A = this chain, B = another copy of it.
Amino acid sequence: MSDFAAISVPGRVADAAEGITTEELALAARNHGLPLEALRYDVTPPGLHYVLTHYDIPPGPAGAWCLTIGGLVARELTVDLEGLRSMPATTVRVTLECAGNGRALLTPRPVSQPWLVEAVGTAEWTGTPLRALLAEAGLAAEAVEVVFTGADHGVERGVEQDYQRSLPLSVAIGADPEVLVVYEMNGAPLPPQHGFPLRLIVPGWYGMAHVKWLRTITVVGAPFTGYQQRAYRFIQQPDDVGEAVTRMAPRALLIPPGFPDFMSRTRFVRPGPVRLEGRAWSGRAPVTGVEFSADGGDRWSAAELDPPDGHRWAWRRWQALWTATPGPHMLCARATDADGLTQPLEVQWNRGGFANNGIQRVPVVCVPPPSAAVLP
């Protein structure tokens, strides 16, 4: 590990007035969020869904890609894509959000992938239920967790690794949500950046659980303590243990109305009624309400939430009508779920910058209608 120590340094928190660093920018240029106007689509078109790759997108398989299911099982299985495709398939619509969404809005800012609010997307994933594969392999009585290993390889905070995450056995074999090993996204083979040829889908959980470029599934008899399992925890100080990051906290996002200024992304609208639209989700319990505010969160009004459409693990659309009056406004929205969780006005800071579901703020200026043609 000392070979990497000079380069791959521990995580840190930005100084008070420190701008975004070149390293954070390099991550922002590689990875990308959902352009917020793309919240208009029920299912996110390819290329607009958020992407985070810890290391590199691995090359596609040179020959056959085999998935191995081993460890504490009765019979180790090796299955190729044809084998998976010959098993009963399930398709589920899932909203995926990065656990680091909102990180760059925290004060002080944890220095990592600098998401604002847009690390989200929704897709239809098709694949094989994990519990069917585990049943075929036969779980040993001592099984406690299941470890998933991807083909992406790199160094993180000094630790060389293949990307690895685990799930408790109860989650891995659960029926609702049902964890899937998927080979299709929106009816087509997975794009390289979304895990071609195979990835895990864990409906309701933040993105770090959905291991991409999946190669190996290992049933183990003790809680897994690999790097990524230690990294995704809510801590205040480097040596804290903290709670694990698991399911997505409730969040509502608004499609910024009107038209933007290129550089500031501030919105302009004309006076009169403005239809507001957005999406809301929670990985914990169904969203039960969305409210919006036009004054930065002082006063809130109920938005209209689309009725449940059977896609429990996907976002739901909401709408509201706002009457714009000349001058500046700050539009906000917040979601509440059936567990009674509501997005906070004051966010809970944590050192990894995880699960910041602080309320989105969209600056809007209402300007007079154009007095004459503005274009040549």
Tell me the A residues contacting B by CB distance below 8 Å: 3-4, 6-9, 11, 18-33, 35-38, 40, 45-49, 51, 53-57, 59, 104, 111-112, 114-116, 118, 153-157, 160-162, 164, 191-194, 226, 256, 259-266, 268, 365, 367-368, 370, 374-376
Contacts and interface: CB of A to CB of B under 8 A. Distances in A.
Contact of A191 (B46, B156, B374): B46
Contact of A21 (B6, B19, B32, B162): B19
Contacts of A45: 191-193
A-B complex: 4 closest residue pairs judged by Cβ atoms: A19-B19, A32-B32, A47-B47, A20-B20
B57 A35 contact: yes
A251 to B, nearest CB: 16
A45 B114 CA distance: 25
B262 A29 contact: no
A259 B22 CA distance: 19
Given A48-B193, A264-B7, A25 B160 contact: no
Nearest to A10: B263
Contacts of A8: 261-264, 266
Nearest to A50: B29
A96 to B, nearest CB: 14
B47 A191 contact: yes
Given A8-B261, A160-B374, A264-B8, A37 B25 contact: no
Contacts of A367: 3-4
Nearest to A116: B29
Contacts of A59: 40
A127 B153 CA distance: 40
A9 B266 CA distance: 12
Contacts of A112: 263
Contacts of A116: 25-26, 29
Nearest to A49: B47
A167 B346 CA distance: 51
Given A35-B56, A192-B38, A367-B3, A154 B23 contact: no
